[in-house]
Structure 1
Amino acid sequence: MMQLHPLYKRYFIQIFSFGLIWLFFGLVYVMLEYGILGRLTYYPATGNKYNVINSLFMVCVGSFLMGIVQGVVEIFWLKKYFRRSPFWIKIAFKSIFYLVFVFVFVIVIALINNAYLYDTSVFDPVVINMVFGFISKFAFWSVILYVGVVLDLALFYSEIKDYMGNNALFNYFGKYHRPKPEVRIFMFLDMKSSTAIAENLGHQKYFELLRTYYADMTNAILETSGEVYQYVGDEIVITWKQKQGIHKNNCLHCFRKISKAINSHSDKYLKAFGLIPEFKAGYHIGSVTAGEIGIIKKDIVYTGDILNTSARIQAECNNYNSKILISGQLMDSLEKDNTFSFTKIDDLLLRGKKQPIQLFEINFI
């Protein structure tokens, strides 16, 4: 069975989420309208014809389509354009843009709706007069105000989702209210010589390097179904559920795609920072306990030896001059793959452990 590419799947979910938000508030609007108008067959404020079934269909379809349009515009254009702008500037400028669009959209819907009710063309003078009469009334502007609130809520959802992470909002809806065990893969990826780089660049320039560096990793992480667990200075921790990480060896190919992305922007890094970032990574798989923690600020955290072990494996990269080291447990779980080779290099005995961990070096072909 053909599976949707993880990146396209994410785009689809994001866009569809906008459609659902708009659909929900469209239904709320129709219910409120019906509660006020009841059995009336016209709008008292404008004199336009009213039919609850027709209103339900037009508003719900129109709302859902408006949400899809906003989702597409947001994901593929405005989000990228305002990526580095402050939160309030994003909301303000996007709100103005969408309100203009909504103004036109509502007029088009009103034209179509009245043309249907009067069984005539949208260019019929009766329809046009009804729509202009609608625009001149407070009823029209109350709709625009309501729609403006909905689009701002959708924008707020989109922005907060970026701050919290891919699945964070869904995770907070009770999934991890009670701690639950999971088998996960972790990759600790660390920039080489970061201390010396920070000293040479200065704090502000170094921050710009990190921001650019992490931004260029984004597609590689999304394309391999990864989740960013933490940013710790120059180190990023990426995690996968076992199934997603093992599928097509996504977890390892994430590193390959990150390397390719950074190298493809080598000229940009050399021009802006005088260097091309290099990095190393340590991988491990094992059981963790996932759950909500905190009172003032809640967070989803993972606890278990696997995190300490992954960090230790990454630290061993320096001792063996390796770019990627993985544990024997993860090595045994991987699918057959001709795009990389592996070599066993040592057994790592961690403090407090009786059994050593086998270490394998990965080299992409």
Structure 2
Amino acid sequence: MKRRTSYKLKQLGIITVIWLIIGFFIPLYDRLALFTTNAVVPVPKYTIAEAVAINMGAALIGALLGGSLLVFYVNVKFRDKSYGYTIATVILSFLVVIAIVNIVLRLFAVPSDPLRILKNCMIWGIIVAITQLFLQINNKFGQGVFWNILRGKYNTPKEESRIFMFLDLNSSTTIAETLGDKKYHAFLKDIFTDITNPILDNKGEIYQYVGDEVIVAWKHNEGIENSKCVQCFFDIKYHLQELSSKYIRLYGLAPSFKAGIHCGKVVAGEVGIIKRDITYSGDVLNTTSRIQDMCKEFNEEIIVSGDLAASLRLAGNFITQTLGSIKLKGKQKEMLLIALKSAMTE
């Protein structure tokens, strides 16, 4: 199963669990409201167990249908649209889901009350809107970042082993001058959209977009597994090659990247007051940037540090070329650098 599919299924699972909990508490609230001194007496056949079963059943059906719609369609097809646009789409779809839920309930001879249906529509409409808002916020921050901020995982800085890849667009200055600012922005937006799935499938996390550069991060164990941190670069390369006709048609050129990859210890911590984010700090990031700079000097598309190469299984999958021990700009010690090519293309 691809990583992006697994991530979406996890989101759907969370939505289902939360909606089931809400479906459980709605009838409990109704019961408390019905038995207050100012409320009307409940109908004779009313039982809390039946109400809970009906509401949780409706919540389950709604989560599987509506949740799948949000995760697998709306936030994929309309991910570059505004929250208001997606909500309009969700509302129309939500009405269809409500109709399906009521049809299913009728098939099981569940009695329907127009006022109760109207009330539930209002409640679940709000729940769906909030769910969509949180999905878009999560996409804005990146996978798991928003949740980590909510639970305060990085309130206290933590040292972690990470792998970083600095991915830089080739000939970016020339391309920007050729396309102009507005069209160049659209060009970058298309590229960053198209390379997302190869990154996710290789267990990478998009840490930052810096101009025309993308910084991808891995937990150390996930990055070295099957050399995913390196395979990610070639998956991006091949995917963009498959889309080259699209880019030539729209922009008159096909994009390509160069990359530097390195690993080591970093400190991860939450920063900011008005705009909060989780950032990594440490010499690893500066070194990775310097390694990526060497791609142009050696005319190579991807260079990795000797430290990282020692942890990877490169034989058979990649062709290695040792560039030697190089003293990187701003560094006192020399570092072994290795250029890579995919064995599949040779």
State the TM-score, normalizing by the size of structure 1: 0.88
2:189 equivalent to 1:211: yes
Give the residue type in structure 2 aligned to 1:268: K
Matches within 5 A, 1:278-297: 278-297=256-275
CA-CA distance at 1:336 after TM superposition:
4.9
Quick check: 2:154–2:269 contact (8 Å CA) kept in 1? Answer: yes
Is contact 1:286–1:306 with CA below 8 Å preserved after alignment? yes
The one-character-per-residue Cα deviations of 1:50-70 (angstroms, maximum 9, x if unpaired) are 211222233223313321222
> Which residue of 2 is the match for residue 228 of structure 1?
206
Question: Residues of 2 paired with 1:270 and 1:351: CA distance?
Answer: 36
- Read off the aligned partner of 1:94 and give its amino acid letter: V
What's the counterpart of residue 118 of structure 1? none
Q: In 1, Cα distance between the equivalents of 2:119 and 2:169?
A: 53
The answer to whether the Cα contact below 8 Å between 2:322 and 2:337 also exists between their aligned partners in 1 is: yes
- CA gap of 1:351–1:212, structure 2 versus 1, over 3 A, is closer
Change (3 A) 1:83 1:45: farther
**RMSD of aligned residue pairs (Cα, Å):** 2.2
Query: Using a 3 Å threshold, how does the CA distance of structure 1 residues 207 and 189 change in structure 2: closer, same or farther?
Result: same
Q: Distance in 2 between matches of 1:357 and 1:21?
A: 50
Q: Indicate whether 1:67 and 2:70 are aligned.
A: no
The one-letter code of the counterpart of 1:247 is E
Contact 1:183/1:288, CA 8 A, preserved across alignment:
yes
TM-score by length of 2: 0.92
Which SS does the other structure have where 2:206 is aligned? strand
Aligned equivalent of 2:49: 53
CA distance in 2, matches of 1:154, 1:223: 25
**Is 2:97 the counterpart of 1:89?**
no
Structure-1 separation of matches of 2:302 and 2:146? 32
Distance 1:48 1:343, change over 3 A: farther
Distance in 1 (CA, whole Å) between partners of 2:228 and 2:27 is 45
Please tell me whether the aligned partners of residues 28 and 48 of structure 2 are also in contact (alpha carbons under 8 angstroms). Answer: no
**CA deviation map 1:263-301 (0-9, x unaligned):** 001110110000001110000000000010011111100
Report if aligned partners of 2:62, 2:97 keep a CA contact under 8 Å in 1.
no
Once residues 259 and 245 of structure 2 are traced to their aligned partners in structure 1, the CA distance between those partners, rounded to angstroms, is 24
Alignment gaps of 5+ in structure 1: 116-121
Q: Give 2:144's aligned residue.
A: 167
Shift of 1:243: 0.9
1:356 corresponds in structure 2 to: 334
Per the TM alignment, residue 33 of structure 1 is displaced from its structure 2 partner at its CA by 1.8
1-structure distance, mates of 2:163, 2:119: 51
Map of 1:240 onto structure 2 = 218
Alignment of 1:79-228 (within 5 A): 79-106=75-102, 108-109=104-105, 111=106, 115=108, 122=109, 130-131=111-112, 134-135=113-114, 137=115, 139-172=116-149, 173-228=151-206
- Give the total of aligned pairs: 341
TM-superposed CA distance for 1:84, in Å, is 3.1
Q: Which residue of 2 aligns with 1:78?
A: 74
- Residue 306 of structure 1 is matched in structure 2 by 284
Alignment match of 1:22 (pick from 19, 23, 29): 19
Unaligned runs of 5+ in 2: none
Following superposition, the deviation at residue 103 of structure 1 comes to 4.0
Going from structure 1 to structure 2, the CA distance change for 1:284 and 1:51 (only over 3 Å counts) comes to same
